[in-house]
Amino acid sequence: MRTLICGSLAYDTIMVFKDRFKHHILPEQIHILNVAFLVPDMRREYGGCAGNIAYNLHLLDGNPLIMAAVGDDCEPYMLRLKKLGLDATHVRRVPDTYTAQAFITTDLDDNQITAFHPGAMNYSHENRIGEVRDVSLGIVAPDGREGMLQHAREFHERGIPFVFDPGQGLPMFDGAELREFLRLADYCTVNDYEAKLMTERTGRPLEELAREVRALVVTLGGNGSRIYADGSVIDIPAVTPEALLDPTGCGDAYRAGLLYGIEKGWSWEKTGRLASLMGAIKIAHRGGQNHKPTRAEIAARYRAAWGEDLD
């Protein structure tokens, strides 16, 4: 059986400004802002939540199936998915659009100015869960607003358990919509900021929201993660990474570990430990999809970190 990954495919263009924004953005002139930054260093990465999650699940020898919408400029990404052996049968090409993309400029203080173009992602609702066969688990990751709502409802209608992962898309939804997502979903995963925003919008404490799903997972960055499940709270320590290079895509790597453990029917302790390890492996590499550990190497890292076998 396969895991259906609903979310975005995107290009990330990352530029480095070798100075500090504060030297060029003057507070007293903000009302007539007109600045240009010379960025001699630039790279283009493959990203998007669906792409990143599927990539990491594939590293674990999982069986991900991507559902996303892309534009006319998608060919490099589609060739990459084919080369990696990732199933893109349900990646829809939307004519006369661009694939979603982020343009990120970073200065020497690690401040960022980002412009995000959703492009074809806005048509994600044209993809239908009912068109997919042999799926035992799913995830609704950040995507077009209507697509996220529709896919959650379709997973529920078909009786397919799924993870609700609102991510940076959470601000698009009001309290009633977030409560609906939790009612439909089997699992939910957010970071600590998103958890606070969810409690504010729903007007309910986290412990009460956790009772709506089988498990509510809150990631806490370098402080690990916390899993609310079966009436208890399980604290998962962070795994010490080999380097702290780039946090981009760490949450997606973590979610791949969650999906793998859920699919395998593991305990929440073991599932959380694998998820924590996947995030630690990712953060030591730039970009969301440039780490390349083998399944055996992941298993060895797991044993070294937790003193138990992965399988």
Q: Does a structural domain hold residue 195?
A: yes
Q: Is residue 272 part of a domain?
A: yes
Residues in the chain: 311
pTM: 0.95
Let me know if residue 193 belongs to a domain.
yes
Residue 30 located in a structural domain: no
Residue 234 covered by a domain: yes
What are the Cα distances from residue 228, in Å, to 83, 135, 168? 38, 26, 21
State how far the alpha carbon of 278 is from the alpha carbons of 235, 288, 298, in Å.
17, 12, 8
Rounded Cα–Cα distance for residues 14 and 39 (Å): 10
Domain ranges, residue 54: 2-22+39-306
Rounded distance between C-alpha atoms, residue 216 and residue 272, angstroms = 12
Please report, for the domain that includes residue 215, its CATH number: 3.40.1190.20
Q: How many structural domains compose the chain?
A: 1
Determine what percent of the chain is predicted with pLDDT higher than 90: 90
| pLDDT tens over the chain, length 311 residues | 899 999 999 999 999 999 999 998 888 878 888 889 999 999 999 999 999 999 999 999 999 999 999 999 999 999 999 999 999 999 999 999 999 999 999 888 878 898 999 999 999 999 999 999 999 999 999 999 999 999 999 999 999 999 999 999 999 999 999 999 999 999 999 999 999 999 999 999 999 999 999 999 999 999 999 999 999 999 999 999 999 988 889 999 999 999 999 999 999 999 999 999 999 999 999 999 999 999 999 999 999 999 999 98
Backbone angles phi, psi at 307, to 5 degrees: 70, 25
Dump pLDDT digits (tens) for 131-173. 999 999 999 999 999 999 999 999 999 999 999 999 999 999 9
Using an 8 Å Cβ cutoff, are 140 and 151 in contact? yes
Is residue 34, in this structure, part of any structural domain at all? no
Instruction: Say if 84 falls within a structural domain.
Output: yes
- At 126, list the tokens: 């044209």
Q: Assess if residue 29 is contained within a domain.
A: no
